[in-house]
Amino acid sequence: MKRLAINPLPWVFGPMGPCVTEQNLREALADLAQTGFRALHTDVPAGMAVPQYKAILDEFGFAPAPGYFAGDFHRPEKQSAIIEQAKAHAGTLAALGVDSTFVAGNIDMARFANPAVGENASAERTKRMAETLGLLADAGFAEGVRFALHPHVAMIVETEEETRAVLDMTAGSSLGFGPDTGHLLWAGMAPEQIIADYADRMVGLHLKDVDPAGFRQVMRYEDDYVTATGTRHIWTEPGRGIVNFDAVFDALPAGFDGWFVVEVDVPHLPSPLESSQSSYDFLASHPYFTGATA
């Protein structure tokens, strides 16, 4: 059975980025309950106990799905603290019965200003990141949760070269692969190719599409990340852009049982509800998702 979830980012984005509260969590769930989704990206609001979070999900008929962990993996002086934070993150997920999570580097401000081209790339930095990611993945796995590398535009693991290097240097560790179709394409990758190349490491997948008109403008004007996503609307709902989802799904290993998490940060359609319904309808009608558990 395919496991399908959604990230409620459109409901929880604030001036400083995502900030989940009980109020906006409930608002998101009330809307999403009108769609076919029945699992939600895990992000427990600050100060909320895990049982209370689970009770709210239960109230709306939702199951918890993988979450997201980020850090300055290239900073050796932070390595011990990051590993402890990763263990705590894994403990929260394990308490909710979730067996995997996505792991991405923190924002690189030079890349935020000039995204998707590998600004500030450094082989030494990539090596340091790989070391920490391998260690934290093993620590998380000991808690019962598989961490999956999540390349992200404007962050410290962004490009194909960095993605392949980290995965290759962590071969034999518990670190899996959990890319985002939109971020892969924007950073110049063919999503289906890199997924096929690391099919044996695949743990989960974020699903978003890339709007062709927005993408052309972003590339032409060399926009910063905020302009690209908020003004050009480079992201769009799965099935409405230029990601070849047929090829992406074909690239996954036979019997793949990882999570698929829809994540359209800034909806292209007029409202978060319309965006989410469009995403669900596309996936529910796709042959790959016959029998999916949403």
Residue 93 pLDDT: 99
> For residue 265, what are the contacts with CB-CB under 8 A and spacing of at least 6?
9, 10, 13, 208, 229, 235
72: closest CA among 138, 133, 153, 143? 133
Q: What is the pTM of this model?
A: 0.97
Backbone angles phi, psi at 27, to 5 degrees: -65, -45
Cα 87–Cα 91–Cα 95 angle in degrees, nearest 5: 170
Residue 293 pLDDT: 72
Q: What tens-digit pLDDT sequence spans the chain (294 residues)?
A: 699 999 999 999 877 789 999 999 999 999 999 999 999 999 999 999 999 999 999 999 999 999 999 999 999 999 999 999 999 999 999 999 999 999 999 999 999 999 999 999 999 999 999 999 999 999 999 999 999 999 999 999 999 999 999 999 999 999 999 999 999 999 999 999 999 999 999 999 999 999 999 999 999 999 999 999 999 999 999 999 999 999 999 999 999 999 999 999 999 999 999 999 999 999 999 999 986 777
Residue 65 pLDDT: 99
Backbone angles phi, psi at 81, to 5 degrees: -65, -40
Residue 1 pLDDT: 64
Residue 241 pLDDT: 99
- Please report the domains of the chain, with CATH numbers, ordered by start residue: 4-286 (3.20.20.150)
- The beta strand positions in the chain, using DSSP E, are 3-6, 13-14, 17-18, 39-41, 63-65, 67-71, 100-105, 146-149, 176-177, 204-207, 209-210, 235-236, 259-262
CA dist., res. 264 & res. 273, Å (int): 11
Residue 17 pLDDT: 82
